[in-house]
Structure 1
């Protein structure tokens, strides 16, 4: 398969790329590095990326940002960071990317445990993650050409434990192998409209 991985140079992206490269052709897209650059917060940038690379068999997005801050410190524009990047960025990847997927292809988005189990300072991020979950379940009912759309929602991964552990007291770090398997399940399985939760 020819697989496009957006965010393939990140903490989760690198091991996911390494796994899929074993038996597939993998293209890495990132905001500042990779085989091709893309800003998912800009739909024109997404369109230009697909025009350059052409058709693929699978799209995986492990990218998107949202503002972390106390609720009373968040201004309206702070919410738009997550809305424009992680939410609409991934929505636009589906909206535009479906036209560059071979029949029977798949699109895998990424969220996280905050959608179901938020912690402090994550009002914006949790809201965005929950929105993506609802979007995936709904779009799966309508998307054509036997295309499947799923989302992988992981807890705090082991590789990010030192950086984020103070935000997630008592949470069990998720082994990267489990996270990789979530993406494998989405790409190689037959599920559609699934929220693949990896929380424990």
Structure 2
């Protein structure tokens, strides 16, 4: 398959890229500041330009999304707006604009995360964004068939425990390789409207 991967140079994107490439897929690596294709998907116009550049693809996978972390009392409206643009609207636009640009039975795989079901202090924006993406996936799945859409919702990565482990006390981590296999399952499988929870 020809797969457009957003956030391909990040920690998760690198693992997903390796897993897909190992299975013989052609991966088009895109990112805001790295990768073969430099586009900021938080800007709908750049999403459109990215699709114009790559042409038809079989699948689109996202491993990127920016959200701020602050206590609720320190959050400003623009912080929540940034979370919406950075993780929700950016991925919605990948789907909205991509429906006419991927294969008839192609797929979208988006990224959410554990914080919408098991939040930590300072994570209200991330929880909001993840929950919104998951709700969108369930709704979009009933409209875009036979194209498919799923989301990957991992907990903290084992490889990131040194940096983030203190924020997730007692929470079992998940290996990046396992998360990458969930992307493979979403892209190569038959499910739609699924949230693959990994913990």
Shorter-chain TM range is over 0.9
Number of the residue aligned with 2:74: 73
2:148–2:191 Cα contact (<8 Å) kept = yes
Distance 2:67 2:46 in 1: 19
Distance 1:121 1:149 in 2: 29
2:19–2:181 Cα contact (<8 Å) kept = no
Map 1:74-153 onto structure 2 (within 5 A). Answer: 74-144=75-145, 146-153=146-153
Shift of 1:184: 1.0
Task: Please state whether the residue corresponding to 1:68 is helix, strand or coil.
Answer: coil
Number of the residue aligned with 2:45: 44
Distance 2:40 2:157 in 1: 24
Distance 2:144 2:105 in 1: 11
Shift of 1:177: 2.1
* In the alignment, structure 1 residue 188 sits paired with structure 2 residue 188: yes
Number of the residue aligned with 1:61: 62
Map 1:150-189 onto structure 2 (within 5 A). Answer: 150-189=150-189
Number of the residue aligned with 1:27: 28
Task: Please state whether the residue corresponding to 2:104 is helix, strand or coil.
Answer: strand
Shift of 1:69: 0.6
Unaligned 5+ runs, structure 2: none
Superposed CA deviations along residues 33-57 of structure 1, whole A, max 9, x for unmatched, are: 1111111110000000000110000
Distance 1:52 1:134 in 2: 29
1:11–1:160 Cα contact (<8 Å) kept = no
Bigger shift: 92-101 or 170-179?
170-179
Unaligned 5+ runs, structure 1: none
Shift of 1:105: 0.4
1:40–1:64 Cα contact (<8 Å) kept = no
Distance 1:45 1:163 in 2: 32
Superposed CA deviations along residues 104-132 of structure 1, whole A, max 9, x for unmatched, are: 00000001000110111000110110011
Task: Please state whether the residue corresponding to 2:122 is helix, strand or coil.
Answer: coil
Q: TM-score, normalised by structure 2?
A: 0.97
The number of residues matched between the two structures is 198
